[in-house]
Amino acid sequence: MHDARFDKLAKLLVEYSIRLKRNETVLIEAFDIPDEMTIALVRAARKAGGVPFAQTYHVRVNRALSLDASDRQLNLTASHELARMKKMDAYIAVRGSNNVTELSDVPPETMKLIARKMRSVQDQRVKKTKWVVLRWPTPSMAQLAGMSTEAFEDFYFEVCTLDYRKLLPGMKALHRLMEKTDRVEIKGRGTDLRFSKKGIPAVICGGDRNIPDGEVFSCPVRDSVEGHVTFNAPSIYQGIAFDGIRLEFKNGKIVDATSNETKKLNKILDSDPGAHYIGEFSLGFNPRLLHPMRDILFDEKIAGSFHFTPGQAYEEADNGNRSQVHWDMVSIQRPEYGGGEIYFDGKLIRKNGMFLPKQLRSLNWH
């Protein structure tokens, strides 16, 4: 089956996301996706004058390779994959999954070992290539979203082929505003939160690293978070479904945490000292993403949402917090989700999910 939507998505990824130039090499990694999509990417890369390389994977085969992965096997794999990555100017990964829990019976120690051994390949890709990564719509994702397979596919392509160029002026204005803001206040149902983000950079996510995209993120000063916050979007973390998470803060630290799974929530937050502090604060505004579907790559970009993240901070917007946890928790502030306000230095910036300053209004969903 050839689908015009594949070509449209491939064109966006090659021409906009990685901006592939003549004679540049690009590695396309395809995990359990239709060959037609991989072919569409190869063609789009050729059309841009680039030199495409493609590698297809099946997660079930990866599981078999991972189950008893030896040091020697992983060292060899890492060295030849690193040699290949060093020859690449760009990288596209499209990840499908027929079973989101396919790797659940690979022992955690083995998963950690693989991650450690493959770290050099990942660092080369992230730091030295122009890269973009996205999911592929599958029945298992449709099921999580509570949608039919066909309706979910339609939704996916609509969200993923958004023209991000249109959001750029608004994103740049929000970026400037966030960078010069010191005090942030968030109010809403079950939420009264205050923190400083003085001197911490903001980062635009506009379709060039992850698709779908549509957020500008920063980070609170580590010890400045005070008050409490309730998250109304459901969350899945380490395979556990959490609803109605409420966190309470003193001097930046989570001093109380409850949800439908309070015990499991606290167990994750007790992973290490850094998991009790916040490593990211972000505003989401993808106009085609309105409701949660229990997939964080989508949910953190919901129009009129913010997310607040216990755990590891990103190097580009760093408050120094370090943790093995990075858990994006999402709250939607559009009226049908209970509304709410966000203030920057005492000025009302967003009310009920809608940006008020003129230069930010192009980011509103309608």
Domain of 15: which CATH number? 3.40.1830.10
pLDDT at 354 > cutoff 70: yes
For 74, the domain range is 4-161
Scan for tokens 């990288």, then name that residue: 91
pLDDT in tens, 240-283: 889 999 999 999 999 999 999 999 999 999 989 999 999 999 99
On whether both 177 and 254 belong to a single domain, the answer is yes
Q: Angle 306-312-316 (CA atoms, 0-180°, nearest 5)?
A: 75
On whether both 96 and 157 belong to a single domain, the answer is yes
Q: Given this model, what pLDDT does residue 208 score? A: 81
Domain limit, last residue, from 139, 161, 183 = 161
d(CA 187, CA 229): 8
- Mean pLDDT over 110-133 rounds to 89
Residue 295 pLDDT grade (very low, low, confident, very high; cuts 50, 70, 90): confident
Q: Say if CB 225 and CB 278 are below 8 A apart.
A: yes
pLDDT at 320 > cutoff 80: yes
C-alpha distances (whole Å) from 48 to each of 23, 38, 239 are: 9, 16, 40
pLDDT in tens, 40-95: 999 999 999 999 999 999 999 999 999 989 999 999 999 999 999 999 999 999 99
On whether both 260 and 129 belong to a single domain, the answer is no
Q: Given this model, what pLDDT does residue 238 score? A: 76
End-to-end CA distance of the chain: 35
Domain limit, last residue, from 161, 189, 211 = 161
Residue 294 pLDDT grade (very low, low, confident, very high; cuts 50, 70, 90): confident
Domain limit, last residue, from 161, 189, 219 = 161
**Is there a cis peptide before residue 212, judged by omega within 30 degrees of 0?**
yes
d(CA 245, CA 79): 42
On whether both 354 and 286 belong to a single domain, the answer is yes
Q: Given this model, what pLDDT does residue 12 score? A: 93
Q: Say if CB 90 and CB 24 are below 8 A apart.
A: yes
On whether both 242 and 289 belong to a single domain, the answer is yes
On whether both 154 and 194 belong to a single domain, the answer is no
Q: Given this model, what pLDDT does residue 366 score? A: 82
If one compares 104 and 197, the residue with the highest pLDDT of the two is: 197
On whether both 174 and 145 belong to a single domain, the answer is no
Q: Given this model, what pLDDT does residue 241 score? A: 86
Residue 1 pLDDT grade (very low, low, confident, very high; cuts 50, 70, 90): low
> Based on the structure, what is the number of domains in the chain?
2
Q: Given this model, what pLDDT does residue 305 score? A: 98
pLDDT at 103 > cutoff 90: no
Q: Say if CB 221 and CB 198 are below 8 A apart.
A: yes
CA dihedral 334, 339, 341, 342 (to 10 degrees): -40
On whether both 27 and 120 belong to a single domain, the answer is yes
- Mean pLDDT over 156-174 rounds to 92
* Cβ-proximal residues to 77 (8 Å cutoff; 6+ apart), any chain: 117, 118
d(CA 8, CA 52): 18
If one compares 102 and 246, the residue with the highest pLDDT of the two is: 246
Read off the pTM.
Answer: 0.84
Q: What is the mean pLDDT of the chain?
A: 93
On whether both 132 and 38 belong to a single domain, the answer is yes
